[in-house]
Structure 1
Amino acid sequence: MIGILTFIIVFGILVVVHEFGHFYFAKKSGILVREFSVGMGPKIFSHIDKDGTAYTLRILPLGGYVRMAGWGDDTTEIKTGTPASLTLNQDGLVTRINLSQKRVDNKSLPINVLSYDLEDKLEITGRVLDETKTYSVDHDATIVEEDGTELRIAPLDVQYQNATVGGRLMTNFAGPMNNFILGTVVFILLAFVQGGVQDTTTNHIQVVENGAVAKAGIKNNDQILAIAGKKVSNWSDLTDAVDQSTKELKSNQTIPVTVRSGKTTKTVQVKPEKSDGSYFIGVRPGLKMSLKDKVFGGFQMAWNSALAIITALKNLISNFNINKLGGPVAMYRMSNQAAQAGFASVLYLMGMLSMDLGIFNLIPIPALDGGKILINLIEMIRRKPLKQETETYITLAGVAVMVVLMIAVTWNDIMRTFF
């Protein structure tokens, strides 16, 4: 249960923070944000603010999304003959189009819709008491969709395509940018939770609770001087010594570890623990604990994480292997393991995943933010936008690739996890 809860919280925070970046800069660029949703699926709660954004809370606590006017699959489809009801103001302008049977307004005008234009001409035509009538629609009118969600209509002047290219570029970049900011903040918080940042230049160590060296009586901030006769003066020496001394290790065999605790030096027998084909003795690098070290260390951890992710991505491109990718199932497995290891491990996982999400979204695939940014840059160079149809086809191709890849990755995760 704790693993599921950790997965929901971590995944939810990552996605909502990402989407908030798009939301904030879209509004700054004059783009109408029709909906900002926390969660997915059926709506639980909705509120429209004075700027026309519907803030919704949905039943499945898995991330969220931003629905911008004219962006992606944001469309309002009304089939011919659809029954609806219109709310008119004192000037005869339609201020509300209700397509839902869940929210009946007895004072509204019933109509069967024949045609509509809610982007340019702002009008709706339909049958009213066996008579065909056309009504003008107010620029800031709302439409109640079939599921009961009430949104602003999306006239052309507030659509994504009509914002400046710079505004669109910033709107697309803001999602990954927010993930980088979140990742850095989380790593700084992790440094404070840990009491400091790792210092790999020393042989002082931190002990993993219930790990191999903890069972042998070694404590936090002790110095490991040697492992199986191999001298240790820093973290690199320590990991090399562990690798060398466990290469031909037999079951239940121990290795000698020389340790200094205060003024006392002693040698104890440690039984390494095997996990995923490698041996571990249950230690982490020692800590630097000043305020400056913690803050700077948080930035350093974020930077190192980003470099590691970029390196892994380059290796994946040069030598593709689907086992190197992970989807929601893999993320749940990592969340469960982190939850079992404690709060610091959850923070580390969140920081890594936030940096990962930011970098992944900058890949120039049309379905991702990076693809949209590439289109924005092309428009800047050409000094004119791509044809709407061309951009749509490119985006659909990218979506198709991402859907196929996600299905393959998720299936592979399931097979690796459960079979």
Structure 2
Amino acid sequence: MIQTILVFLLVFGIIVIVHEFGHFYFAKRAGILVREFSVGFGPKLFYHRKGETTYTVRMLPVGGYVRMAGYEEEADLRAGMPVSLYLNDQNEVEKIDIQNKVQDVNSLPIEVTSFDLEDSMFISGRVDGSTEETQTYTVSSTALLIEQDGTILQVAPRNRQFQSASLINRILTNFAGPLNNFILSIVAFSILGFLQGGVMSDEPVIGQVEESSPAAEAGLETGDRILSIEETEVDSWIQMLTIINESPNESLQVTVQKSDESTVEKSITPETFETEQGTEVGRIGIVNDIDRSFFGKLSYGFTRTWDIITQIFTILGSFFTGGFSLDKLGGPVAIYATSETVAQSGLIGIISFIGLLSVNLGIMNLLPIPALDGGKLLLNIIEGVRRKPLSEEKEGIITLVGVGFLLVLMLAVTWNDIQTFFLN
């Protein structure tokens, strides 16, 4: 179980960090203030502040987020709240502590009456809770704010907020997370190609023929290319394998191109083979060719990633043609359950799992659902067409609906995963 948990945390952590780093990098590049980079949700376990950003690790390892200025509500600062101010030599506020803790002798205690930490950059209040006239202090544009859980964030002036960036920079920032997932998938599968010493080609070219098999008896040899079966043109190894699997004990007319480019006709009868599920399939005793070239190993990252993308869109399309099914979806519980098998398969299995999950996360985040990256990109496109953004009120309602939908879906998927992997 410990090994499974470690694999789960490793795989999920890598995917989340890479995804959020995409948002982080392009936000920084656009001049948007990134206040927090978090791995996980819930209570914080660890944090470290560097530059303008606080990096946190939180208790629930089921995701992460980049907290960009203007993309979330300010900390819980409100009128009537007792806070501690720290002033610099210019009498500007350089730190606001809203924690209800023991008073620091170097701080100035006030009861907040009003504040603006976006435009006018001030905070007013009654010093030490007195009923006397309020005092107003200028807040530095780089002042720090200590939240009630102890997280230190930088205040967010309007010109550093997300909505102040150009439309193209906001689009790039929203798209960068899924983009990084695709890049991670490509890198993972390319590494896999090198670790395996090559990749199995999808070309219908024979790499090896088993002795005494139907293929050997028909005279097939290494390097032969299958052109057609029963006059059906064969374009890929999978297509060829599908036809053979569906034809146990049936005589098939196969057109073969030999290594000297001559063409011959062969009659082959696949033998019957019973799978672990008890299904009978046909097999002729051939193994596909392995591409051991540098380019073949490198390109596997692109071809494998594209194969998974097409498979995902096929599944998504089936929701409209064959009906919606939770069994076609999986959440953190399904990932954890699969991690046990992955942990036993070693490094190659872990890398393959990272590539598979990463491209899945990239596609899912691009769905045009409010609160997901795809929903945000849709709002960006609408803004570009209208030449003005939606009002904050309308965008807030749309996002709230999206969050509600995702929450219900997540609960349904999680319960379905629990039933599938632990209760059945």
Note the C-alpha offset of 1:114. 2.6
Q: Is the 8 A contact 1:227 1:241 kept in 2?
A: no
Find the aligned partners of 1:223 and 1:373 in 2 and give their Cα distance.
Answer: 56
- Structure 1 position 137 matched with structure 2 position 136: no
Note the C-alpha offset of 1:272. 4.7
Q: CA-to-partner distance for each residue in 1:287-339, whole Å, 9 max, x for gaps?
A: 21111111122211111111111111111233211211111111112222222
Partner of 1:305: 308
Q: Is the 8 A contact 1:12 1:61 kept in 2?
A: yes
- Structure 1 position 204 matched with structure 2 position 207: yes
Q: Which moved more, 1:368-377 or 1:111-120?
A: 111-120
Q: Which moved more, 1:103-112 or 1:388-397?
A: 103-112
| Residue of 143, 146, 153 corresponding to 2:148 | 146
Partner of 1:406: 410
Note the C-alpha offset of 1:66. 0.6
Q: Is the 8 A contact 2:272 2:281 kept in 1?
A: no
| Residue of 189, 193, 214 corresponding to 1:187 | 189
Q: Could you tell me which amino acid in structure 1 is paired with residue 119 of structure 2?
A: D
Find the aligned partners of 2:212 and 2:315 in 1 and give their Cα distance.
Answer: 31
Question: Are the structure 2 counterparts of residues 27 and 81 from structure 1 closer, same or farther at C-alpha, using a change threshold of 3 Å?
Answer: same
Q: For residues 206-355 of structure 1, what are the structure 2 equivalents within 5 Å?
A: 225-226=213-214, 236-238=239-241, 240-242=243-245, 244-245=247-248, 272-275=274-277, 285-318=288-321, 319-355=323-359
Q: Which moved more, 1:38-47 or 1:312-321?
A: 38-47
Q: Give the SS at the match of 1:314.
A: helix
Q: CA-to-partner distance for each residue in 1:166-188, whole Å, 9 max, x for gaps?
A: 11000000001000100100110
Note the C-alpha offset of 1:134. 2.0
Find the aligned partners of 1:193 and 1:116 in 2 and give their Cα distance.
Answer: 58
Normalised to the residue count of structure 2, the TM-score between the two structures is 0.81
Note the C-alpha offset of 1:229. 9.2
Q: Could you tell me which amino acid in structure 2 is paired with residue 374 of structure 1?
A: L
Q: Give the SS at the match of 1:31.
A: coil
Note the C-alpha offset of 1:397. 0.9
Note the C-alpha offset of 1:199. 2.0
Note the C-alpha offset of 1:42. 3.2
Note the C-alpha offset of 1:405. 0.8
Q: Give the SS at the match of 1:180.
A: helix
- Structure 1 position 16 matched with structure 2 position 10: no
Find the aligned partners of 1:160 and 1:377 in 2 and give their Cα distance.
Answer: 16
Note the C-alpha offset of 1:157. 1.1
Note the C-alpha offset of 1:283. 10
| Residue of 140, 162, 165 corresponding to 1:163 | 165
Find the aligned partners of 1:170 and 1:56 in 2 and give their Cα distance.
Answer: 24
Find the aligned partners of 1:365 and 1:11 in 2 and give their Cα distance.
Answer: 22
Partner of 1:378: 382
Q: Is the 8 A contact 2:181 2:358 kept in 1?
A: yes
Q: Could you tell me which amino acid in structure 1 is paired with residue 150 of structure 2?
A: G
Question: Are the structure 2 counterparts of residues 102 and 243 from structure 1 closer, same or farther at C-alpha, using a change threshold of 3 Å?
Answer: farther
Find the aligned partners of 2:12 and 2:103 in 1 and give their Cα distance.
Answer: 36
Find the aligned partners of 1:369 and 1:242 in 2 and give their Cα distance.
Answer: 41
Partner of 1:7: 8
Note the C-alpha offset of 1:40. 3.5
Find the aligned partners of 1:410 and 1:277 in 2 and give their Cα distance.
Answer: 31
Question: Are the structure 2 counterparts of residues 162 and 107 from structure 1 closer, same or farther at C-alpha, using a change threshold of 3 Å?
Answer: same
Q: Give the SS at the match of 1:274.
A: coil
Q: Could you tell me which amino acid in structure 1 is paired with residue 334 of structure 2?
A: A
Question: Are the structure 2 counterparts of residues 280 and 34 from structure 1 closer, same or farther at C-alpha, using a change threshold of 3 Å?
Answer: farther
Find the aligned partners of 1:238 and 1:223 in 2 and give their Cα distance.
Answer: 19
Gaps of 5+ in 1: 206-220, 247-268
Q: Is the 8 A contact 1:11 1:62 kept in 2?
A: yes
Question: Are the structure 2 counterparts of residues 228 and 287 from structure 1 closer, same or farther at C-alpha, using a change threshold of 3 Å?
Answer: closer
Q: Is the 8 A contact 1:228 1:245 kept in 2?
A: no
Partner of 1:390: 394
Question: Are the structure 2 counterparts of residues 123 and 393 from structure 1 closer, same or farther at C-alpha, using a change threshold of 3 Å?
Answer: same
Find the aligned partners of 2:102 and 2:63 in 1 and give their Cα distance.
Answer: 27
Partner of 1:218: none
Partner of 1:80: 79
Q: Is the 8 A contact 2:189 2:351 kept in 1?
A: yes
Note the C-alpha offset of 1:93. 1.0
Q: Give the SS at the match of 2:370.
A: coil
Q: Give the SS at the match of 2:214.
A: strand
Question: Are the structure 2 counterparts of residues 99 and 320 from structure 1 closer, same or farther at C-alpha, using a change threshold of 3 Å?
Answer: same
Question: Are the structure 2 counterparts of residues 231 and 378 from structure 1 closer, same or farther at C-alpha, using a change threshold of 3 Å?
Answer: farther
Q: CA-to-partner distance for each residue in 1:202-224, whole Å, 9 max, x for gaps?
A: 3436xxxxxxxxxxxxxxx8578
Q: Is the 8 A contact 1:203 1:223 kept in 2?
A: no
Q: Could you tell me which amino acid in structure 1 is paired with residue 422 of structure 2?
A: F
Q: Is the 8 A contact 1:203 1:224 kept in 2?
A: no
Partner of 1:55: 55
Q: Could you tell me which amino acid in structure 1 is paired with residue 354 of structure 2?
A: M
Find the aligned partners of 2:56 and 2:348 in 1 and give their Cα distance.
Answer: 32
Q: Is the 8 A contact 2:210 2:216 kept in 1?
A: no
Note the C-alpha offset of 1:102. 5.8
Q: Is the 8 A contact 2:38 2:55 kept in 1?
A: yes
Q: Give the SS at the match of 2:276.
A: strand
Q: Give the SS at the match of 2:37.
A: strand
Percent of pairs with identical residues: 47
Q: Could you tell me which amino acid in structure 2 is paired with residue 307 of structure 1?
A: T
Q: Which moved more, 1:165-174 or 1:374-383?
A: 374-383
Q: Could you tell me which amino acid in structure 1 is paired with residue 104 of structure 2?
A: D
Partner of 2:178: 176
Q: Give the SS at the match of 2:96.
A: strand
Partner of 1:46: 47
Question: Are the structure 2 counterparts of residues 42 and 231 from structure 1 closer, same or farther at C-alpha, using a change threshold of 3 Å?
Answer: farther
Question: Are the structure 2 counterparts of residues 284 and 346 from structure 1 closer, same or farther at C-alpha, using a change threshold of 3 Å?
Answer: farther
Q: Is the 8 A contact 2:39 2:63 kept in 1?
A: yes
Q: CA-to-partner distance for each residue in 1:115-139, whole Å, 9 max, x for gaps?
A: 2221122111222131332222111
